Amino acid sequence: MTELAALVVIADSSDAVVITLVVVLIFIVLGLSLSLRFYREKLQLRRSLMFNRHLVKRCPYCNALMESDANYCPKCGKEVPQITTLTP
């Protein structure tokens, strides 16, 4: 009987380790996908700036680049005043 109890304890602890590893891997994959998404958005904005050479403005709250006609910051979501600094 004690051998069976020892096997159950070992099985429970190994299951917990497997579940913990799966959860950690899920968080790693989610973090990488989010960082890749933000990197692609930043790269797309830089490419559009390079090829179009139109004026853009910066958010006064988080200093993010945005289109000159945008009313809300794409990064922090705050409303941006109409009069802001435009940069080429």
pLDDT tens string 33-86: 888 888 888 888 777 766 666 677 888 899 888 887 888 998 899 998 876 555
Q: Going by DSSP bridges, is the β-strand pair 65-67/86-87 parallel, antiparallel, or unpaired?
A: unpaired
* Rg value, the chain, Cα: 25
Show the beta-strand stretches assigned E in the chain: 56-58, 65-67, 86-87
| pLDDT value, residue 8 | 47
Query: Which pair of structure tokens corresponds to residue 64?
Result: 């993010």
pLDDT exceeds 50 at position 15: yes
**Are the beta carbons of 45 and 65 closer than 8 angstroms?**
yes
